[in-house]
Amino acid sequence: MIGTEKELLNILQAQKPDDKIYLFNNFYTKYKEKNIDLSYDWDILEFDQPSYASVCKIIPPQNVPKRSNLTTKQGQIILLHAIMHIEYSAIDLALDAIYRFRGLPKKYYDDWLKVADDEVRHFLMLKELINELDADYGDIEVHSALFEASQKTKTLIERMAVVPRYLEANGLDATPMILTKLKKLPKNDMIEKIIQRLNIILEEEIDHVKKGDIWFNYACQKDGVNSEVYFDIINKYYPQGFNRPRNLNTQARKEAGFSCSELNKIAHKEVC
């Protein structure tokens, strides 16, 4: 049992992407082949910095390079790197959800290992493209907002509300807007490759948010609270999160488990 805990910790703390992905792939293969139990208790280590701190320069979110002029090589590098960073951070978020929350059904651990596996694949899909542009992960400054979210949310109900049902769900809204912008640009091979990969990521992220919805509702039932606590949790950590009207990817959010009443409240208007 101690070996499994150590393996998860080693993956989470691995500083280089190649090392993290290698360790994860080995662990996930063993998990599936040997039907490893991850539900037992262990002492949880708190992390004081994200695993990518030695690879990427971390700066405040407002100072991260803007995604503009996507017809240029540098503009495409900045866009790809920003999305890569989200996907790479999401690997650790999924693994932290496994490492941190104990005594849950096996399906919970199955789900978040599958999410981590998807995020690894997404990261590598984007890495292939950024390498074609003679760049790599770590070349552009990043923010640590996703890591900070994981540090704030230390209960299952808060983690599932904030990470999949708020942060990742926001991505379901943002990605179509990026795709629309890309499709308006003059056609070239790299733009077409980016569009193709973003479409794959968008489709698979719906399932990730859905998994978050399932386990958020599980936590609500376990804690004996109404699922409307979602808005209280988000307002606690992101006080401005629902203050302004937004263009929602209504269909994707519905597929991911959002109710019409939730969507209408988020959008500040009737959307379904």
Write the pLDDT tens digit of every residue in 135-192. Answer: 999 999 999 999 999 999 999 999 999 999 999 999 999 999 999 999 999 989 999 9
DSSP bridge pairs for 72: none
Query: Please, what are the domains in the chain?
Result: 2-37+51-267 (1.20.1260)
Q: What value does the mean pLDDT of the chain take?
A: 95
- Per-residue confidence band for 34, with pLDDT thresholds at 50, 70 and 90: confident
Question: Higher model confidence: residue 113 or residue 38?
Answer: 113
Instruction: Say yes or no to pLDDT of 1 above 50.
Output: no
pLDDT-above-90 percentage for the chain: 88
Contacting residues for 157 by C-beta, under 8 A, at least 6 apart: 216, 219, 220, 223, 225, 229, 233
Local structure of residue 45 (DSSP, 8 states): P
pLDDT band for 261, please (50, 70, 90 cuts). very high
Q: How far apart are CA 77 and CA 58, in angstroms?
A: 17
Task: For residue 142, list its beta bridge partners.
Answer: 58
pLDDT at residue 242 greater than cutoff 50: yes
pLDDT at 129 over 80: yes
CB 142 within 8 A of CB 52: yes
Q: How confident is the model at residue 98 (pLDDT cuts 50, 70, 90)?
A: very high
100: pLDDT strictly greater than 60: yes
The DSSP string of 161-196 is HHIIIIIIHHHHHHHHHHHHHHHTSPP-HHHHHHHH
Per-residue b/e over 186-220, b at no fewer than 16 CB within 10 Å? Answer: eeeeebebbeebbeebbeebbebbbbbbbbbbbbb
231 pLDDT more than 80: yes
Query: What pLDDT score was predicted for residue 78?
Result: 97
**pLDDT at 265 > cutoff 70:** yes
